[in-house]
Structure 1
Amino acid sequence: MDIINLLKPEAVRSVSTVSSKKMLMHAMADIAANVHELDPETTVRALQDRETLGPTGVGHGVALPHARIAGLDEVKAAFIRLEKPIDFSAVDRQPVDLFFCLLAPENAGVEHLKALALVSRTMRDASICAKLRANNDPETLYAIIAETQRLNQAA
């Protein structure tokens, strides 16, 4: 499984207008609607339902919101870099500015977990996060993520 197979370039955004968790969920749902043709209300509800089970803010300014959605045929991703971090109930109680969202089919057990592990490993790398924070152009952000995948495959 490769991040570049999960994440399309057009599903990467740098956003300056999001100032709350609710707004972030709607921004993710907008990407899911525009890029992956998912119903935005269903996506928001699924992401919010997942957040009630426990926070997906993993620390160090990173969150990995994820949800299962009926009718989806494969794992899809979206990435948002916020210009100003928001409170996302992260485990370290620090505000979050990097969001890597995964949306999986309702019955995707192993594939969903593999995708989550891959994204988690990638976003745990402080140098990658620093590069992502230093850029706000979506094409550059995608290139950083894609290059990370290529470097990991070469290692």
Structure 2
Amino acid sequence: MELSKILVPAAVRVVGQFTSKKRLFQELAEITAQVHGIQSALVLDGLQERETLGPTGVGHGIALPHARLEDLDQIVGLFIRLEKPLDYDSVDRQPVDLVFGLLAPKDSGVDHLKALALVSRTMRDPAVVTKLRANTDPDKLHAILTETRTTAMA
């Protein structure tokens, strides 16, 4: 599995700021609707439902909101770089400025977990994070995220 298969350039955005986690989730849902044709309400509900199980703010200014959705036929990624960090209730209580959303089909099983592991490994790489924070061009951000990072597929 490669991030370039999950994350298309149109799903990478730079946004000034959000006033709440819910507003961030709404933006992720709107991007999904625009880029992948999935109803934004389904995405928003899925992300919010998953967040009630525990925070997806993994620390160091990074959040990995994710959900499994009925109307999806492939795993898709979304990336938002925030110019002004958002209080996200992360595990380390630090505000978030890098958000990689991951949406998977309801029945994706282990593929969803492999994709989440790939995204998590990528976002834990200090060199990647430094480059992401140093750039505001969505095309450059996409290139940084998709530089030959793969995980074995079963």
Counterpart of 1:85? 85
Residue 38 to residue 119, structure 1, CA distance change in 2 (3 Å): same
Q: What is the CA-CA distance between 1:17 and the residue it aligns to?
A: 3.8
DSSP 3-state at the match of 1:81: strand
Runs of 4+ in structure 1 deviating by more than 6 angstroms, as ranges, are: none
| Structure with the higher helix share, 1 or 2 | 1
Partner Cα distance (1:30, 1:141) in 2: 19
TM-score by length of structure 2 reads 0.95
Q: What is the CA-CA distance between 1:149 and the residue it aligns to?
A: 2.3
Unaligned runs of 5+ in 2: none
Give me the identity figure in percent: 57
Matching of residues 3-152 of structure 1 within 5 Å? 3-147=3-147, 149=149
TM-score by length of structure 1 reads 0.94
Contact map agreement 1:122 1:148 (CA 8 A) in 2: no
Partner Cα distance (1:17, 1:117) in 2: 27
The aligned amino acid for 1:6 is: I
Per-residue CA deviation, residues 106-150 of structure 1 (Å, 9 max, x unaligned), is 111101000000000000011111110111110110011122528
Q: How many residues align?
A: 152
The aligned amino acid for 1:128 is: V
Partner Cα distance (2:104, 2:75) in 1: 4
Partner Cα distance (1:45, 1:117) in 2: 23
When the two chains are superposed, the root-mean-square deviation of aligned CA atoms in Å is 1.5
